[in-house]
Structures are given as structure tokens and as C-alpha cells.
Amino acid sequence: MSQPMNQEQVRNLLKHIDASMDETVKSAIFTQLGHECFHSNHLDQWIDEFKGDVQRFLDSINIDHQSPYWESLVFSADKSRLTLTGREVTGCACPFADCSAPPLSLCNYCCKSFQQEIFSALFGKPVEVTITESFLWGNRRCSTIIDIR
């Protein structure tokens, strides 16, 4: 007989990993967690709906305001960089952060990996994500820069 997953147990495990492991271990575990979040929530299918139409994706955020988390996505003049400005929030979107002293590796590695999955799939090429603001870091929004390779 199986039991449902205990969210508190998983959060406590992630907090332990974040507090006690070196950066190499934290990076490996939390990067994989971001990858799993993207695929297990079938966001690859959501991105596929845009069929590489980056402008339609941008319009869904910037014009149609379809994201509860993202306020805007703006390209640099040469289109090599996309700046994602998050909406002001009162909490982290990640259910694993719903605890006291959430692990910062959720931002540093997991969210970074999650967004790299999204934008790599959208552009069909590797990207590098840099988190510039994070609710868990004390900011009022979560924002990133996406460098397109």
C-alpha cells in the first residue's frame, strides 16, 4: 500500500541538502529538480504550443498578460538577451518554498534550471539564465536575464 507524498518531508529534506551539502552537490540535486518540474508538469507541451513562434509567446506575456508570475519579457536590441521582469509577489511560486527559511538553492539552481528548460525549448537552442531578483532573496519580484547562445 503506497502513501501520498509528504510535502513537509520533501521540504525538510531539501532544506537539509541546502544547509549541509557543498555547492557541487546542491547544484546537481536542485538543477535536476528544476528539470523535473518542467517535464513532470508538462510545460514542454505548453512551449510546443508556440511552435517556435517567439513573438507570439512574448505577446502572450506582454500584451495578453497570461502569466501570473511574469510582468514582461523584453529583448535587447540585438535579440541576444531577453530580460524577464516578474510581477510583484507576496510569496514564492514553488511549493517547496512554502516553509520557514526555504532553501535558497531553489532560486540559485532549481528555478534557474527550470527557466533554462523553458527558454531553451522556446528558442530551440541553449540559453543561460541569470536570476537578478528573487522573492526568497528578499526582493518583491523574481526576475531574470536570459542570454541566448
8 Å CB contact between 30 and 105: yes
- Residue 2 domain-assigned (yes or no): no
- Note whether residue 20 is domain-resident: yes
Q: Which range marks the domain in which residue 101 is found? A: 7-148
Integer Cα distance of 50 and 57 in angstroms: 6
141: left (phi over 0), alpha (psi -120 to 50) or beta: beta
Reported as a single tens digit per residue, the pLDDT across 42-88 is: 999 999 999 889 999 999 999 999 999 999 999 999 999 999 999 99
pLDDT tens digits, residue range 4-46? 778 899 999 999 999 999 999 999 999 999 999 999 999 999 9
Residue 1 falls within a domain, yes or no? no
Q: What is the pLDDT of residues 88-134, one digit of tens each?
A: 999 999 999 999 999 999 999 999 999 999 999 999 999 999 999 99
Does the residue 133 lie in any domain?
yes
CA distance 17 to 26: 7
Torsion of CA 71, 43, 29, 11, to 10 degrees: 70
Domain assignment present for 88: yes
Give the total number of structural domains in the chain: 1
Task: Report if residue 90 sits inside a domain.
Answer: yes
The CATH number of the domain holding residue 15 is 3.30.1380
Report if pTM > 0.85. yes
